């Protein structure tokens, strides 16, 4: 019966987990860079403006504090005007409501210039609402954006591991050891006569590179070396074992395990015991 292989569970599971983790981390970095950090910057800026206006409104009309606050409000209005402004939706102080924020700044400007009691009262209500949302927000660190690139750069690695998974899955379907002893691999096909040896020096070796102990190397008549890897390809050990048993039947079993040779003295002892 011909022996074929498929991608080993340990390999495809590890590869897909790495791919998924890399892509998720990358998308997280993109979200932070494009959405979360700008929103936090905007929130922190609004908190600073509201605190300045709140302090200024507690001073007398015409004070230096009110003049300085008026400059801050004007700069905030110019900054907000440079952003896409849609029709005011939701609460006036909501982060996504740029039009509402501009309306609030205009109201603050009038209040700072000496507006009537109603304007002062409306300003106080808006400031309180805004400080509840933005008063405790700290601005992003200068390292936050550069750090996101470490996550964003995970995306190419994620797609690379997906590509490796697809490539190895296709490669696994190529391996075939037929009933006549012929071997087909991604490197080519060889008949039983064209396979001259198999190097088992690394296979389940007690020393050396642990990863290499999953491999054996087939030697062909044209001196080509074909690596067979049981770590990546499930049931590859059956192909390795079949070839090893063919060339070294006293050392290897068809399942690629070493043949256990009993000590001759032990065998003689057992034989005498049976005779008695």
Residue 182 has pLDDT above 80, yes or no: yes
How does residue 275 score in pLDDT terms, banded at 50, 70 and 90?
very low
Q: Determine phi and psi for 267, rounding to 5 degrees.
A: -65, -45
Q: Give the span between the Cα atoms of 269 and 137, in whole angstroms.
A: 85
Checking if the pLDDT of 269 tops 60, the result is no
Q: How confident is the model at residue 251 (pLDDT cuts 50, 70, 90)?
A: very high
Please give the Cα distance from 111 to 121 (Å, whole number): 9
Separation between Cα atoms, residue 69 and residue 54, nearest integer Å: 9
Q: Give the per-residue pLDDT at 55.
A: 92
Distance CA 168, CA 161 (A): 10
pLDDT value of residue 273 = 42
Closest CA to 101 of 114, 83, 117: 83
**pLDDT of 39-98, one tens digit each?**
999 999 999 999 999 999 888 888 899 899 999 999 998 988 887 766 656 677 777 778
For residue 238, pLDDT over 80 is answered with yes
What mean pLDDT comes out for the span 147-160?
96
Q: Which of 105, 36, 97, 45 is nearest to 70 (CA)?
A: 105
Query: Which among 70, 90, 71, 80 has a CA at the least distance from the CA of 45?
Result: 80
- Residue 241 pLDDT more than 90? yes
Contact 66, 50 (CB under 8 A): no
Looking at residue 267, what is its pLDDT?
39
pLDDT for residue 276: 43
Read off the tokens for 48. 């600073």
Which two tokens mark 30? 């993109």
Distances (CA, A) of 246 to 11, 61, 198, 259: 29, 102, 10, 13
**What pLDDT is stored for residue 87 in this prediction?**
63
pLDDT at 85: 67
Give the 3-state secondary structure of residue 190: strand
pLDDT of residue 221: 92
What confidence score (pLDDT) does residue 92 get?
A: 73
**Residues 6+ positions from 225 with CB-CB distance below 8 Å:** 199, 217, 218, 219
Q: Cα-Cα-Cα-Cα dihedral of 113, 114, 116, 121, to 10°?
A: 70
Chain-wide mean pLDDT for the chain?
Answer: 88
């Amino acid at each position: 019966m011909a022996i074929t292989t498929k991608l080993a569970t340990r390999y495809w599971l590890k590869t897909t987990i790495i791919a998924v983790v890399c892509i998720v981390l990358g998308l997280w970095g993109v979200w932070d860079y494009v959405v979360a950090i700008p929103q936090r910057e905007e929130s922190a800026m609004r908190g600073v403006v509201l605190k300045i206006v709140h302090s200024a409104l507690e001073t007398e009309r015409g004070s230096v504090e009110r003049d300085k606050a008026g400059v801050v409000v004007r700069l905030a209005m110019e900054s907000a005007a440079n952003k896409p402004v849609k029709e005011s939706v939701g609460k006036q102080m909501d982060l996504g409501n740029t039009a509402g924020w501009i309306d609030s700044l205009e109201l603050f400007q009038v209040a700072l210039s000496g507006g009537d009691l109603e304007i002062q009262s409306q300003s106080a209500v808006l400031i309180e609402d805004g400080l509840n949302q933005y008063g405790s927000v700290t601005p992003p660190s200068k390292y936050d954006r550069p750090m996101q690139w470490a996550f964003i750069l995970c995306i190419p690695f994620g797609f690379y591991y997906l590509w490796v998974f697809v490539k190895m899955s296709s490669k696994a379907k190529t391996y075939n050891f037929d009933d006549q002893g012929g071997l087909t691999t991604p490197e080519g096909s060889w008949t039983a006569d064209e396979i001259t040896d198999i190097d088992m020096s690394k296979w389940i070796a007690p020393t050396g590179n642990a990863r290499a102990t999953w491999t054996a190397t087939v030697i062909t008549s044209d001196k080509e070396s074909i690596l067979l890897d049981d770590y990546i390809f499930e049931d590859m050990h059956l192909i390795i074992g079949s070839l090893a048993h063919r060339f070294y039947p006293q050392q290897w079993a068809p399942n690629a395990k070493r043949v256990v040779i009993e000590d001759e003295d032990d065998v003689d002892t057992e034989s005498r015991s049976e005779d008695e």
